[in-house]
Chains A and B, each alone.
Chain A
């Protein structure tokens, strides 16, 4: 058993990608295809008073009147129009679509298309907003009692900024119209989200809408919900033009208009004994949702569930809210709320350790969640709970204690963060999704049919490994069907670290069922004798997994992955530039199906987290991203790449395929607080990210404004 699982097999999409043969959306065209562009609002909030459109022949123009079905992007709340009718709520809100056969003719249309507005006052501060998309409360134990048991009560406020996913391939789709039907090809993560949005927009029966994923040049959550909007636009134009329409954003438009990570404000009030035991945690989480609901409610949900960190405490109160502001909607980005809230708790833990004069490792050891402990939602953890093992491994591997001592008072600092990440949809989410996966017998093995997309993380390869071993055939005999809603079942979206642990498990079940039906025959022999057949399995929750969505209590996730980061860095005292010089990333992920690709997720996610911590800053000016280009929205380059030591631990999850948990998102939860804690070690008191040189220059050089008071 286990020839493919655990081995670094050759990835299925590798050869096409290194030879330039892989076809991304902009590499594809159709006969008669024209190009589409979007005309957007230039103000953050107001009423459209007049539309001036003076375009010569040859242009196709469409607005909300051209929508045959409902004018909203179907996702969670029906609040976001596909094309604005009378009101605009943010800069770059789509109003009008223009198509032309000659691509360059779509550049610089501002002269010929313009709008008059009656402007309204915009709101940019989420705490000043009177519109709340979602409120969530988590209550555990008795907070007053918890604070009464404390010797010290300590407070802090932490802030995080926007972050752009910055996939290197911008958003793009092609819509191909047919007779009462529509096909959309695109760079996307969630084909069935796009499918649902098109069905609602076009008013067509589901069977008349088809969505096909093309090779996708990165997603990171940025292609979770936005492609639905773009697909709707292309479909409207295609329907009107009666021709295929290609819409590819350039980088500036992609940065201006598409979703980013929610900025947040996190406030902690914590009760702790002199000995370092945490007795009470009171946490407030405010997320800036932007102008429409999109996925804010779910981002907030994951955020609040992770807000008390991987720590045991009997008395917890968490209050979260996602608020409307007049900026482009924020949405999914790797980590999905957890990087923000775990930045808050982990920065707070080091300040708390300072406050009571205890070592930050010791404080974490004293409070880390262990098997049998309960989380904030009251979930009892199984024996794979690994906060302590990852912490100890990271401390040992990095030489944390010695460097901490040696570097004090120098320009070098070392800091750590301890974190966890729930795999799969939150609470009852997976039950509601009821995902399906199928496996079809072929002449030499089997073909995988799932809607899970390959976006670089290795979906096709990892799924084929699981099926190969569960079916008992060589890895090369497993094919993967292209993601096309006409052929593959709805396996749910490719998000939430669920592609391996949830969809992979469905495939494992399919393969075992297929194995049973084959009896003693090989797939080839069975195929020759009886022909092909298909096995389908549907999600069933692990036994005893209970969730109460009203009270926000119970088993929030089937399993958690656990991580600890140690960041070593150097501050230039003249320029306040920060250079990470070494990173240790320990991750407990159940089972690494493909160790090299799992390591790739950890290295890549950690690098993205270092960018989030230090250099990636979205500058909003009057509701508009002022640095909407790669010249001044900067991400780590090869010269910024810090050496990294990745260590993977495996404590199998009983209901994951071969024991696997989720791995994709967790790596971005830890780097930012580890950086901030390393800066604190250098003497810089920074509580918001990104910790740019400007912010560092103005940071207090001694510690803590946090209030200290005797409880009781």
Chain B
């Protein structure tokens, strides 16, 4: 298969039915994409194929032939990607971190100023067991609006103080 992976043209000699997830992890050494369930339920293996978020555990290599693929390792190539990554660190969107690459990649196609409902819908196929999702929503909201104000980490959490809530 030939694909543009994180901006680089790659020619790979793989079985056409090999899962894209395994092609990325084993043949390209891009282990940032994770496997959580292997059946398209958890979204840990989310990558962008031609700009669309897909579960790479369900995509055979042949189907990604000729496509542009973005994995977590390529997210930082765009400023918006770096802002999302930074927000996930600063606002607690990443805890154990295993769902984080998929979450960030799934949020990448969102437009700046996306509503909470749009964010929830974009992330609907991604499971997290640590956070209860609220800090992930806050991270995505802030990451999509990368002003200095939005990324101040102490803004939202104060002990026994009123705080804004995702709703």
| CB closest chain-A residue, reference B165 | A643
Taking a contact as CB atoms under 8 Å apart, the answer to whether B73 and A8 are in contact is: no
Taking a contact as CB atoms under 8 Å apart, the answer to whether A8 and B157 are in contact is: yes
Q: Choose from A16, A24, A637, A650 the contact partner of B127 (Cβ within 8 Å).
A: A637
Distance in angstroms between the alpha carbons of A587 and B128 in the assembled complex: 22
Taking a contact as CB atoms under 8 Å apart, the answer to whether B72 and A631 are in contact is: no
Q: Is B42 an interface residue (CB 8 A)?
A: yes
Taking a contact as CB atoms under 8 Å apart, the answer to whether B39 and A630 are in contact is: yes
Taking a contact as CB atoms under 8 Å apart, the answer to whether B126 and A638 are in contact is: yes
Q: Is B66 an interface residue (CB 8 A)?
A: no
Taking a contact as CB atoms under 8 Å apart, the answer to whether A24 and B98 are in contact is: yes
Taking a contact as CB atoms under 8 Å apart, the answer to whether B96 and A630 are in contact is: no
Over the window 126-141 of chain B, the binary record of Cβ atoms lying under 8 Å from chain A Cβ atoms (1 yes, 0 no) is: 1111111111110000
Residues from chain B with Cβ under 8 Å of A14 in the complex: 88-90, 94
Taking a contact as CB atoms under 8 Å apart, the answer to whether A168 and B89 are in contact is: no
Taking a contact as CB atoms under 8 Å apart, the answer to whether A604 and B34 are in contact is: no
Residues from chain A with Cβ under 8 Å of B148 in the complex: none
Q: Is B114 an interface residue (CB 8 A)?
A: no
The minimal Cβ–Cβ distance linking B155 to chain A, given in whole angstroms, is: 9
Asked if A167 meets B96 with Cβ closer than 8 Å, knowing A14-B88, A19-B32, A600-B135, the reply is yes
Q: Choose from A455, A631, A638 the contact partner of B124 (Cβ within 8 Å).
A: A638
Asked if A18 meets B104 with Cβ closer than 8 Å, knowing A169-B36, A251-B39, the reply is yes
Residues from chain A with Cβ under 8 Å of B121 in the complex: 639
Taking a contact as CB atoms under 8 Å apart, the answer to whether B132 and A608 are in contact is: yes
Residues from chain B with Cβ under 8 Å of A559 in the complex: none
Over the window 77-108 of chain B, the binary record of Cβ atoms lying under 8 Å from chain A Cβ atoms (1 yes, 0 no) is: 00000000110111110111111110010000
Q: Is A431 an interface residue (CB 8 A)?
A: no
Q: Which DSSP category, helix, strand, loop or mixed, fits chain B's interface?
A: loop
Distance in angstroms between the alpha carbons of A211 and B75 in the assembled complex: 34
Taking a contact as CB atoms under 8 Å apart, the answer to whether A215 and B97 are in contact is: yes
Q: Choose from A18, A23, A169 the contact partner of B94 (Cβ within 8 Å).
A: A18
The minimal Cβ–Cβ distance linking A20 to chain B, given in whole angstroms, is: 2
Over the window 1-35 of chain A, the binary record of Cβ atoms lying under 8 Å from chain B Cβ atoms (1 yes, 0 no) is: 00000111011011111111111101100000000
Q: Is A456 an interface residue (CB 8 A)?
A: yes
Q: Is A648 an interface residue (CB 8 A)?
A: yes
Tally A-B pairs: CB < 8 A.
193
The minimal Cβ–Cβ distance linking B55 to chain A, given in whole angstroms, is: 12
Taking a contact as CB atoms under 8 Å apart, the answer to whether A217 and B32 are in contact is: no
Q: Which DSSP category, helix, strand, loop or mixed, fits chain A's interface?
A: loop
The minimal Cβ–Cβ distance linking B30 to chain A, given in whole angstroms, is: 7
Distance in angstroms between the alpha carbons of A644 and B165 in the assembled complex: 7
Q: Is B58 an interface residue (CB 8 A)?
A: no
Asked if A635 meets B132 with Cβ closer than 8 Å, knowing A10-B153, A168-B99, A649-B160, the reply is no
Taking a contact as CB atoms under 8 Å apart, the answer to whether B92 and A220 are in contact is: no
Taking a contact as CB atoms under 8 Å apart, the answer to whether A17 and B124 are in contact is: no
Q: Is A596 an interface residue (CB 8 A)?
A: yes
Task: Give me 26 A-to-B residue pairs in the complex whose CB atoms sit less than 8 angstroms apart, sorted by A's number.
Answer: A8-B157, A17-B100, A18-B88, A18-B89, A19-B75, A26-B35, A168-B36, A169-B98, A218-B96, A218-B130, A595-B157, A595-B159, A596-B153, A599-B92, A599-B135, A604-B132, A629-B39, A630-B127, A636-B132, A637-B124, A638-B119, A638-B124, A639-B121, A641-B134, A644-B134, A647-B160
What are the 9 closest A-B residue pairs judged by CB atoms, nearest first?
A: A20-B32, A456-B96, A217-B98, A607-B132, A17-B97, A14-B89, A20-B72, A630-B41, A456-B95
By a beta-carbon cutoff of 8 Å, the part of chain A in contact with chain B is 6-8, 10-11, 13-24, 26-27, 165-170, 215-220, 250-251, 455-458, 592, 595-597, 599-600, 603-608, 629-631, 635-639, 641, 643-645, 647-650
Q: A18-B85, A218-B130, A603-B135 are in contact. List 5 more A-B contacts (CB 8 A).
A: A27-B25, A456-B97, A630-B39, A638-B123, A639-B124
By a beta-carbon cutoff of 8 Å, the part of chain B in contact with chain A is 25, 30-39, 41-42, 44, 71-73, 75-76, 85-86, 88-92, 94-101, 104, 119-121, 123-137, 153-154, 156-160, 165-167
